[in-house]
């Protein structure tokens, strides 16, 4: 199954694991790459040392291409990006920032750059800044889609970009893969579907809920982490969205994050304040979301935690091994392709 993305990234199938904090860790990343896709390691909650060790662990588990995600807006994001470059990671996926200098460094050692975007303005900027492809996140997705759905976002970006587009949001099976390619995408990125696999580190309580929930059991709001985000509909999530930004809680949560990332708290605190109110407010949202997300992901505590999840949760009905899931998606896509060809000829 070849597309511009499989050729660009040197992978067998145009299927990519989204970088999800505490979930897209070395084991899952390597499993996706070994199965013919591209695993992407999430570095949001990692120190530079942890990032380096995680990259090295992925390399021990797979000899196939893999990627690493860096969120440039987050504390430690630029430092983790520097580690990624030092480790010469084959594919670098950046989000929430300008990636021109990062792209130059990655291209300097022959790596490829994927920019995560949500609209045409950001996509064109990423292309101008040297990205080799974009991951376009539609409204259906868990992480930071905007108002436009995947079904409209993908062709709208394909129409204005020269670089390949990867579709993210609402995709969980072969039907989604074929639909994305029909819209002009060269591949798909999946988070919600890969969350509920045997090799995923997501707590079993949340995997069970992901299987039980329907496509209607999500909430879309800017009041969880300050950006448009989709989360699983639970009592705790509804309460969190009603409360909005809790600044006192953000202060104490930021202390925990500083400790986790091994950054002096006051350096982090004054650095955030100096970045301006808009940015400081966004990072305060992130501080609170960070705690809720970690509690849900690692402990499975949905009384206290909140988990981002896409509408594709309604298409998740089992917890297969990654290799089985990818082969199933590809087989289904090929059957659909043949069926469409026969029906369109009628």
Q: What is the pLDDT of residues 295-322, one digit of tens each?
A: 999 999 999 999 999 999 999 999 999 9
Considering the chain, what is the average pLDDT of its residues? 90
pLDDT given at position 260 = 61
288 has pLDDT over 90: no
103 has pLDDT over 90: yes
Other CB atoms within 10 Å distance of the CB of residue 212: 11
Q: What is the pLDDT of residues 161-173, one digit of tens each?
A: 999 999 999 999 9
pLDDT given at position 270 = 46
Report yes or no: 255 and 291 within 8 Å, Cβ to Cβ: no
Q: What is the pLDDT of residues 47-78, one digit of tens each?
A: 999 999 999 999 999 999 999 999 887 777 89
Mean local confidence (pLDDT), 248-252: 56
pLDDT given at position 344 = 79
What is the Cα–Cα distance from 25 to 46, expressed in whole angstroms? 10
Q: Where are the beta strands (DSSP E) in the chain?
A: 15-17, 40-42, 67-71, 91-95, 112-117, 133-137, 165-168, 187-190, 218-221, 229-232
Percent of the chain with pLDDT over 90: 73
Report yes or no: 222 and 49 within 8 Å, Cβ to Cβ: no
What is the Cα–Cα distance from 87 to 200, expressed in whole angstroms? 24
What is the Cα–Cα distance from 144 to 116, expressed in whole angstroms? 10
**What are the structural domains of the chain?**
4-201+317-340 (3.20.20.70), 214-299 (no CATH)
pLDDT given at position 321 = 98
Percent of the chain with pLDDT over 70: 87
3-state secondary structure of 200: coil
Token digits of residue 166? 């990867």
Mean local confidence (pLDDT), 98-120: 96
Mean local confidence (pLDDT), 191-207: 97
Mean local confidence (pLDDT), 166-183: 97
Confidence of residue 145 (pLDDT cuts 50, 70, 90): confident
Place of tokens 């809920």: 209
Confidence of residue 228 (pLDDT cuts 50, 70, 90): confident
pLDDT given at position 223 = 80
233 has pLDDT over 60: yes
What is the Cα–Cα distance from 59 to 110, expressed in whole angstroms? 17
Mean local confidence (pLDDT), 197-215: 97
Q: What is the pLDDT of residues 261-279, one digit of tens each?
A: 566 554 555 455 556 656 6
pLDDT given at position 73 = 78
Token digits of residue 111? 């790596």
């Amino acid at each position: 199954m070849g597309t511009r993305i499989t050729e660009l990234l040197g992978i067998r199938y145009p299927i990519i694991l989204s970088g999800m904090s505490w979930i897209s860790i070395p084991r899952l990343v390597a499993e996706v790459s070994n199965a013919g896709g591209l695993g992407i390691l999430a570095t949001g909650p990692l120190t530079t040392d942890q990032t380096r060790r995680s990259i090295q662990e992925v390399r021990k588990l797979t000899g196939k291409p893999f990627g690493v995600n860096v969120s440039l807006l987050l504390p430690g994001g630029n430092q983790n990006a520097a580690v990624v470059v030092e480790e010469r990671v084959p594919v670098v996926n950046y989000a929430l920032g300008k990636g021109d200098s990062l792209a130059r460094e990655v291209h300097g050692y022959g790596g490829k750059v994927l920019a995560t975007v949500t609209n045409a303005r950001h996509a064109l900027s990423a292309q101008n800044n040297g990205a080799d492809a974009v991951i376009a996140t539609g409204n259906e997705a868990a992480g930071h889609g905007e108002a436009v759905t995947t079904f409209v976002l993908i062709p709208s970006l394909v129409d204005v970009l020269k670089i390949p587009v990867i579709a993210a949001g609402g995709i969980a099976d072969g039907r989604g893969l074929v639909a994305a390619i029909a819209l002009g995408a060269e591949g798909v990125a999946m988070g919600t579907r890969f969350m509920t696999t045997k090799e995923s580190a997501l707590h079993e309580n949340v995997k069970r809920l992901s299987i039980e929930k329907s496509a209607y059991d999500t909430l879309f709001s800017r009041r969880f982490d300050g950006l448009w985000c989709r989360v699983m509909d639970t009592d705790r999530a509804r309460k969190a969205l009603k409360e909005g930004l809790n600044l006192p809680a953000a202060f104490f949560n930021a202390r925990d994050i500083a400790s986790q990332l091994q950054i002096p708290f006051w350096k982090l605190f004054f650095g955030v304040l100096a970045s301006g109110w808009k940015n400081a407010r966004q990072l305060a949202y992130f501080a609170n979301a960070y705690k809720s997300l970690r509690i849900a992901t690692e402990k499975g505590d949905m009384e206290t935690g909140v988990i981002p999840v896409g509408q594709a949760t309604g298409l998740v009905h089992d917890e297969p091994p990654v290799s089985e899931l990818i082969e199933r998606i590809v087989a289904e896509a090929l059957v659909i392709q043949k069926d469409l060809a026969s029906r369109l000829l009628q």
